[in-house]
Structure 1
Amino acid sequence: MADHWVKVELDVAAFDAPRFQPYVERCRAAGIRFATLAELGDTPEHRRALYELNKECSADIPERGEFYSYEEYAERRFASAGYAPHGVVIALDGDAWIGMAAASVHPEFVFNEMTGVRAAYRGRGIAVAMKTLGLAFARERGATTVRTFHHPANASVIAMNRKMGFVDASF
């Protein structure tokens, strides 16, 4: 893994949600719908579908290496104290899960665990739309800060976060 991760954070109160709402509306107009894992049902089948989607989307992360087994993933994601099914936004095309933005809750911040879109659906604003909806979750939880980090070669995701108002941080 990289020695130097790009760490960024967002002041939730300063996030300009109306500026990014058109991404959500354009996706919906194109037939993409969004739901949280809580809305879909936090079931074993949906947890497995989330794992498969996360595994596929994570394959493009530079130096990612082998993805967790389902058992490791379940322990890290679902058994974590910060796990919140309301904080997992899924993008769907019909019944197909095409994107995810997963956040976890911590005492001082919300952490964006993963935002990913299947390759065939990239470039349509789906990631920005999911992240916008995920930031509404952070606001509802009373979080003041959202944090995340990226491999320095993952330039498109870093640029997306900076476009949305994330700034460099040293957490």
Structure 2
Amino acid sequence: MTNQWVKLELDVAAFDAPRFETYVARCREDGIRLTTLAELGDTPEHRRALYALNKECSADIPERGEFYTYEEYAERRFGAAGYDPRGIVIALDGDEWIGMAATSLQEGFVFNEMTGVRAGHRGRGISIAMKTFGMAFVRESGASTVRTFHHSANANAIAMNRRMGYVETDTETDG
């Protein structure tokens, strides 16, 4: 395979928010609460919960390999210059953390680092709802573009992003 990564980009101004707000509403109807790490509290306990959720959801990424230790994760996620807890969306079913959509601020764009939902809660539109909910942070940041990338074998994630209006690009996605 010549290119194992699919790089995608979303034009924030062209994002059809009303179309995707229905996913947010459906989550609420199903008792799923969407919030941010900032709203929950950017505490050591919540950072550990985010790590555990990220580790579990990342296990399904093709060719992901071994996940970071907590210390490595904390340095890469919370110690990064673009980290902002307002950009970490959490989906809660009661007190259970069932999904996350993590973004970071980069120079000139927002980078969608990871979106994942626990296996037992997939297929309900929670990923789209979290990414839609997170667009408030993107708009507040003033960014005109959101970028992400996926392994080419991660067909579900690629299809979800394309459904939301992401298009393929050759632009570098990391900061």
* Fold shared per TM-score above 0.5: yes
| TM-score normalised according to structure 2 size | 0.96
Alpha-carbon shift at residue 135 of structure 1 (Å):
1.8
Counterpart secondary structure, 1:81: coil
Residue 20 of structure 2 corresponds to: 20
| TM-score normalised according to structure 1 size | 0.98
Q: How does 1:46-125 map to 2 (within 5 A)?
A: 46-125=46-125
The letter of the residue matching 2:18 is P
Structure 1 residue runs of 5 or longer lacking an equivalent are none
The letter of the residue matching 1:134 is G
Alpha-carbon shift at residue 137 of structure 1 (Å):
1.1
Structure 2 residue runs of 5 or longer lacking an equivalent are none
Equivalents in 2 of 1:9, 1:135: separation in Å? Answer: 14
Alpha-carbon shift at residue 67 of structure 1 (Å):
0.1
Question: Residues 91-143 of structure 1, C-alpha deviation per residue, up to 9 Å, x if partnerless?
Answer: 00000000000000011100000000000000000000000011221111100
Please list every run of at least 4 consecutive aligned residues from structure 1 whose deviation after the TM superposition is greater than 4 angstroms. none
Equivalents in 2 of 1:163, 1:140: separation in Å? Answer: 23
Q: How does 1:24-43 map to 2 (within 5 A)?
A: 24-43=24-43
Alpha-carbon shift at residue 4 of structure 1 (Å):
2.3
Q: How does 1:90-169 map to 2 (within 5 A)?
A: 90-169=90-169
Q: What is the root-mean-square deviation of aligned Cα atoms in Å?
A: 0.9
Question: Residues 146-170 of structure 1, C-alpha deviation per residue, up to 9 Å, x if partnerless?
Answer: 0000000000110000000000011
The letter of the residue matching 2:48 is R
Equivalents in 2 of 1:121, 1:4: separation in Å? Answer: 28
The letter of the residue matching 1:19 is R
Counterpart secondary structure, 2:91: strand
Sequence identity, in percent? 75
Equivalents in 2 of 1:101, 1:134: separation in Å? Answer: 8
